[in-house]
Structures are given as C-alpha cells and as structure tokens.
Amino acid sequence: MGPVEVLWAVLIGVFAMVGVVRGYPKELGVTTTILAGLLLLTKGGESALVVVDSFLVRNGQPSAAFEGPYSELIQALFYILVFVAIVVISYHGDTLAFTGVPPRGPVGMMLNLASGFLNGYLISGTIWHYLHTFDYPIQVLGLFRPPLTDFAQNYLVPLMPVPLLEPYLLFLVPFMIVMRVLR
C-alpha cells in the first residue's frame, strides 16, 4: 500500500464527484448528519465503548476493548464502523437533505463540487484521525505500515477535522439544522 495521503486524496476526489452528481442540497444534508455523528462520537463514543466492554466483562469475557493485543484495533474499528454506518445511512436516504435545487451553470457546479469536497474531507479525515489516534491498527492486517511521509506528518495530520472541529461541533450542528429550517 502506498502513502496513506494518496488514499485520502483519492477518497476526497471520489466524494467530490459524488457531490457533483447528487447536488449540494442533498450533500448538505449529509454534512449535517456527519457533523452530528462526529458530535456523538466525540462526546459519547468512549462512554459507549466502556458500556459495551463492561457488559462483556460482566459476562465472564476479559476486557477486549481496553486491554489485550487487539485493543487498539477494536477501539479504532468501533469508532470507524459507527461513523461509516452513520455516513451510509446519511447517503442512503433524503432524510436531512435541504429542500431546493442548485442554481444552473458553473456556480451550481462549483457549489456541488465544494459540498462533495467538504464531505470527503470530513469522512476521510475522520477515518484517518481514528486510525492515527490508535496508531494505525490496520497494520495488524498488513494494510499499512507507519511512519507517515514528512508531508503528511507536517501538513495533513494537523488538518484532520476531528481535533480541529471538536470544540465547535456544538455550534455547527445547530447551525446546519437552523439553515435547513430557514431554507
């Protein structure tokens, strides 16, 4: 597997194309759900993991999530799978899609592209963040081996969305909902 930032860039490109095809009213609905999902994971993710782990311990199983050789893989998978599930649900329906159609011409095209790019940044950046936080446990599966390239370490890791946006999620999620209602 090549540098992880290549995969990150490809994912963002794919989501940007998806944005162009679907149109930004639908993409903004996905953005709202993603931000809500991030709020859920950052505020309650660890608590949920503790509850699941303590349930397993109570039933005679050893703590797998916080101890043992695969604890980091399990924690990373927990966050990533929950997040991916949220993303899949948000793309699957029109639940939070904004009502309206994009303007015609290059302006509409640019907005569609930008919304797809934003979602790509949020989705692939979040997945990368959880892999990074848990020291890339996918290396157990032979998928990737650190270290990161200098470019990724110096310029891309500081731009991961979760640590940057975490303090503002409590503002961003209501903002998106208000914008949808105002629309």
Q: Which is nearer to another protein, 13 or 108 (CB)?
A: 108
Using CB under 8 A, which of 36, 118, 127, 162 touches another protein? 118
Rounded CA gap, 145 and 131, in Å?
12
> Considering CB under 8 A, how many residues would be counted as binding another protein?
36
Per-residue binding string, another protein, 40-79, x by CB under 8 A, is ----------------------------------------
Residue 165, Cα to own-chain centre: how many angstroms? 12
Q: Is 147 in the site for another protein (CB under 8 A)?
A: no
Using CB under 8 A, which of 94, 155, 170, 174 touches another protein? 155
Rounded CA gap, 118 and 15, in Å?
8
Q: Crossing angle, helix 24-58 and helix 169-182, to 10 degrees?
A: 140
173, 39 Cβ separation under 8 angstroms: yes
Q: Is 31 in the site for another protein (CB under 8 A)?
A: yes
Q: Is 163 in the site for another protein (CB under 8 A)?
A: yes
Going 77 to 80 to 82 to 88, the CA torsion angle's sign is negative
Q: Is 101 in the site for another protein (CB under 8 A)?
A: yes
Q: Is 114 in the site for another protein (CB under 8 A)?
A: yes
DSSP conformation letters of 106-175: HHHHHHHHHHHHHHHHHHHHHHHHHHHHTT-GGGGGTS--SPPPHHIIIIIGGG-HHHHHGGGHHHHHHH
Which pair of structure tokens corresponds to residue 16? Answer: 């940007």
Q: Is 24 in the site for another protein (CB under 8 A)?
A: yes
Using CB under 8 A, which of 20, 28, 65, 173 touches another protein? 28
Q: Which is nearer to another protein, 58 or 104 (CB)?
A: 104
Residues lying near another protein in the complex (CB under 8 A): 24-25, 28, 31, 98-103, 105-108, 111, 114-115, 118, 150, 154-155, 157-159, 161, 163-165, 167-168, 172, 175-176, 179, 182-183
